[in-house]
Amino acid sequence: MAAPLPLPALHATHAGIWLADDSGDAREAQRGEAIARAAETPHILLNAPLVGQRLGYPDLSGLDLLELFAFLHPARFAVPTIAGLSRALGLEPPAGESGSAGHLRRLAERLLADLADSDWAEREGAWTANATLHRLGWGWAPLVAARIERPEAGERMLFARLPVWEEAAERPPPRTISVDPAEAEARLAELTGAGSEPREGQRAMAAAAAGLFAPRRAEGAPNLLLAEAGTGIGKTLAYLAPASLWAAAAGGTVWISTFTKALQRQLDAEGARLFADKGERTRRIAIRKGRENYLCLLNLEDAMQGAFAGRAAILAHLVGRWAAYSKDGDMVGGDLPGWLPSLFRRAGAAALTDRRGECVYAGCPHYRRCFIERSERAGREADLVIANHALVMINAARSRETGTPFIVFDEGHHLHDAADSTFAVAFGGQEAIEMRRWIVGPEGRARGRRRGLAARLMDVASYDEEGLQALDAAVEAAKALPSDGWLQRLVEGDPFGPVEALLAEVRGTVYARAKAQDAGYGLETELAEPDGALVAAAARALETLESLQKPLAALARRLEAVLEDAPDWLDSQARARVEGAIHGLGWRRETLGAWIALLGRIGGSADVDFVDWLAIERAEGREYDVAIHRRWLDPTRPLAATVLAPAQGVLFTSATLRGGGSDWPIAEQRTGTIHLPGPARRFEADSPFDYAACAEVLIVTDIKPGDVAALAGAYARLIEAAGGGSLGLFTAIQRLKAVHARIADRLARAGLPLIAQHVDPMDAGTLVDIFRDDPHTSLLGTDALRDGVDVPGESLRLVVMERVPWPRPTVLHAARRMAFGGSAYDDRVVRARLAQAFGRLIRRQGDRGQFVILSAAMPSRLLTAFPAATPVRRVGLDEAIARVAAATPPVPATILPPVGVGA
Ligand code: SF4
């Protein structure tokens, strides 16, 4: 190891603040002193935004170890805590908070020493990247430069190091074959491995799932199977067994669709059982996500060449390091550390993906190395494509990837909500300005490579007179859409153009009619009985949209004609650019059509299939959008028509397909099978877990509703009794924040770190990683965590819900409640949420846990949400605490007291 670094270090948690001087001596410090010292001299620290938050000094900067780790070991996983980073580097974590500041220096020494290690796997490109980072003022760069050896030959450019995908002939359609249930069972036995006990429910499910692959009997009538498989059945292997048999024999692809990233990762890991050879596995199993998840190399190049400045530019170069080593270029939930963008206060990360659909396809110099193109091609060739519900639906709706004959919707209980967002329409300032930018291009002082439609189609326009006219007309019409500063103009009562005028009317109507639901957050009102001014403004805005729609349609026709009657200059690059433009235009015209339909309804008769409302979006009291929203009353109708009906077979599975109840019609309604001919087959298998012995539900009866101090006290005492390992679920962000602010210090001083969504500057995935990594840590969160946490074992032994999760009384909810059963509809929503939350607790054999609801108002009729054998007790807080303490296992000897979670 190299000589000690002559640098001080700073460590701050809810338990205190520690400084280590440049010789390594550490001591506790006061906040003011720590801030002053950090402002004077760069300190080594870990996760600057989090430490800054602990100090109440959000602009804190310093030598962040996480940035250095991301530079040295891009695409390598590490939990962003002192203990997590230590383990990633093979070091023993420190024994307590007081030793942590000194330990930060050892971590830095270790990382810098790795620069000289001849086995450093990610060396290529590092010297060149550091030279640029030096120029950009990255704090670590001089320290790295002093230790890294200059390569003898020049390093290859990042883009030259990425693999090129190969074009392949189109795959022939799959053969029509059936899968024998007995063969599916045999395949399952192979997958679970010799010697392992076959699970009856799993075996039966594999046999039932085999029926999916029989040839369908009529067009629009796919084979349908609803399979409710209790937690622990092993349902993924149960459907992978017949799916892999069919794919191999038929030469086709089965799409496995999930909702959470946790399941996507689990399925990816199961791939090792299907194909032991890594190369074969990569060929036969593809992971697909929406294109907005992937790094766009053209955007990255642009950012690295000057479109990004300051800290955002440093992030771009660290992302560039990662891109060269990434498995698939997935920036969201892939191998880019989820914490990396947070270190840069999220500046710039989203702009590195292709969120706005500006891809120029083969017109792009990186097309042959593009991660998105590579993933699409891998999907075409694969046996199994692991995707998410949204992507499967969007692909089907845009008819981009036809030939998806068999689909397995795992986490099928989320299908309704996924369809709800996929088929939603929103016409507001943010959406309209995006449309304007896509057509008009950058205006004012905008920087970067973004170009308008005219610039992207210059060569076509110069060749085709009609095309040029359509293009000019489209650009002219788009200038009537909102532009920068639109919201300010609305607030000042000075809107520009018919669309801004409409949004001003919408905003006025919302303020006049809406009831605030949650101070500082969104406001909304039903789109009903609009007054004359709103109707007139909608009519003028509608004309504007129609005057844009016409030239876009004409342009699309001209582009298609150019492709058909190709001129001499239309080489393959230009052709691909035109194809890309046609695709992009199709997507924009679809959006425009939906907006026009929405505006056309204002002042006319309501369409019973839709729920429309007006909204002002706000965060912490600050407005950021004004919009008109439209949702399907029953979003499974478009789901059934566009996704399910064209398929050959669809399997829906979940532990709670019937929403925590026992009614199959609920499952049929929530999956959309009710809209298809022929009955869906049903399968159910109970969980093998002994819930009577391993779980318990405690309903606490003596917390006064609305008493935040009592609520916070109850959380603190329960978490203490459990020794951490608790997941706290809230229905309102404000209450979560209030509880966290009251108890975080107290718990931290007891060695029980508390982290929280909406409080700690980290994404939900990173918070879950930290929670999973340390059984003493507890996590507070809202809806997203209720579904996305998959933490088997010791780290999660207590779930605490603050109250019964009734649906928020939104316009949309009121309409669905009225249409689908009144209070019974509410009950179904709550039951499903309780079942999901309870499902976090017992993930595998041997798990134990308690589920506490801090509300006496929990109706007994909803208790069917929990597995039948689970004991349910209504108790006072003291007894609940005693029961939790009695059930808490001794802290595993191998686990040290927690350090450096930043709690
Ligand atoms: S092909 Fe499109 S998405 Fe891919 S790198 Fe180029 S511009 Fe970006």
pLDDT digits (tens, 9 = 90+) for 51-105: 999 999 988 999 999 999 999 999 999 999 999 999 999 999 998 888 899 999 9
Query: Where is pLDDT greater, at 142 or 575?
Result: 142
Residue 706 CA to ligand 1 center (angstroms) comes to: 51
* Strands annotated E in 98-171: none
Residue 673 CA to ligand 1 center (angstroms) comes to: 37
Residue 874 CA to ligand 1 center (angstroms) comes to: 58
Angstrom distance (rounded) from CA 298 to CA 399: 26
Pocket test for ligand 1, best of 367, 369, 449, 450 (most atoms within 8 A of CB): 367
Angstrom distance (rounded) from CA 128 to CA 148: 10
Q: What is the DSSP string of 645-683?
A: TT-SEEEEEETTTTTTSS-HHHHHHHHTGGGSSSPPEEE
- Ligand 1 atom nearest 370 alpha carbon: 4
Average pLDDT on 374-389 reads: 91
* Residue with CA closest to ligand 1 atom 2: 359
Structure-derived torsion over alpha carbons of residues 570, 576, 582, 588, reported in degrees to the nearest 10:
-140
Instruction: Judge if the beta carbon of residue 359 lies within 6 A of ligand 1.
Output: yes
Nearest to 60 by CA among 70, 80, 45: 45
Instruction: Judge if the beta carbon of residue 60 lies within 6 A of ligand 1.
Output: no
- Ligand 1 atom nearest 373 alpha carbon: 4
Pocket test for ligand 1, best of 162, 331, 366 (most atoms within 8 A of CB): 366
* Residue with CA closest to ligand 1 atom 7: 359
Residue 360 CA to ligand 1 center (angstroms) comes to: 6
* Residue with CA closest to ligand 1 atom 4: 370
Residue 594 CA to ligand 1 center (angstroms) comes to: 27
Residue 429 CA to ligand 1 center (angstroms) comes to: 27
pLDDT at residue 405, rounded to an integer:
85
pLDDT at residue 449, rounded to an integer:
56
H-run or E-run covering 258: strand 254-258
pLDDT tens digits for 664-700? 999 999 999 999 997 899 999 999 999 999 999 999 9
Cβ(347)–Cβ(311) under 8 Å? yes
Instruction: Judge if the beta carbon of residue 548 lies within 6 A of ligand 1.
Output: no
Residue 358 CA to ligand 1 center (angstroms) comes to: 8
pLDDT at residue 596, rounded to an integer:
96
pLDDT band at 894; cut points 50, 70, 90: very low
Which of 171-180, 349-358, 554-563 shows the lowest per-residue confidence on average (mean pLDDT)? 349-358
271 CB-contact burial (10 Å; exposed 0-12 / middle 13-18 / buried 19+): buried
Pocket test for ligand 1, best of 359, 371, 374 (most atoms within 8 A of CB): 359
Pocket test for ligand 1, best of 293, 370, 375, 438 (most atoms within 8 A of CB): 370
Residue 302 CA to ligand 1 center (angstroms) comes to: 12
Three-state secondary structure readout of 53-90: HHHCCCCCCCEEHHHHHHHHCCCCCCCCCHHHHHHHCC
Average per-residue pLDDT for the chain: 90
Residue 363 CA to ligand 1 center (angstroms) comes to: 9
Instruction: Judge if the beta carbon of residue 719 lies within 6 A of ligand 1.
Output: no
Residue 298 CA to ligand 1 center (angstroms) comes to: 6
Instruction: Judge if the beta carbon of residue 295 lies within 6 A of ligand 1.
Output: no
User: Would the pLDDT of 306 be above 50?
Assistant: yes
pLDDT band at 567; cut points 50, 70, 90: confident
pLDDT band at 565; cut points 50, 70, 90: confident
Nearest to 66 by CA among 76, 56, 58: 76
Instruction: Judge if the beta carbon of residue 303 lies within 6 A of ligand 1.
Output: no
- Ligand 1 atom nearest 294 alpha carbon: 3
pLDDT tens digits for 431-457? 999 999 889 987 765 555 567 887 777
Instruction: Judge if the beta carbon of residue 352 lies within 6 A of ligand 1.
Output: no
User: Would the pLDDT of 890 be above 80?
Assistant: no
Angstrom distance (rounded) from CA 595 to CA 789: 36
pLDDT band at 518; cut points 50, 70, 90: low
* Strands annotated E in 701-783: 726-729, 754-756, 778-781
pLDDT at residue 441, rounded to an integer:
83
Cβ(481)–Cβ(544) under 8 Å? yes
What does each C-alpha distance from 372 to 165, 275, 380, 587 come to in angstroms?
11, 24, 13, 18
- Ligand 1 atom nearest 361 alpha carbon: 1
Residue 478 CA to ligand 1 center (angstroms) comes to: 25
Pocket test for ligand 1, best of 159, 289, 297 (most atoms within 8 A of CB): 297
Q: What is the DSSP string of 23-36?
A: TS-EEE--HHHHHH
Average pLDDT on 604-626 reads: 91
Residue 207 CA to ligand 1 center (angstroms) comes to: 43
Cβ(419)–Cβ(636) under 8 Å? yes
User: Would the pLDDT of 198 be above 90?
Assistant: no
- Ligand 1 atom nearest 365 alpha carbon: 6
Instruction: Judge if the beta carbon of residue 297 lies within 6 A of ligand 1.
Output: yes
CB neighbours (10 Å) of residue 836?
23
Instruction: Judge if the beta carbon of residue 354 lies within 6 A of ligand 1.
Output: yes
Angstrom distance (rounded) from CA 44 to CA 21: 10
Instruction: Judge if the beta carbon of residue 360 lies within 6 A of ligand 1.
Output: yes
Residue 845 CA to ligand 1 center (angstroms) comes to: 45
Residue 567 CA to ligand 1 center (angstroms) comes to: 25
Helix, strand, or coil here: 394? Answer: helix
pLDDT at residue 575, rounded to an integer:
80
Residue 415 CA to ligand 1 center (angstroms) comes to: 30
Instruction: Judge if the beta carbon of residue 370 lies within 6 A of ligand 1.
Output: yes
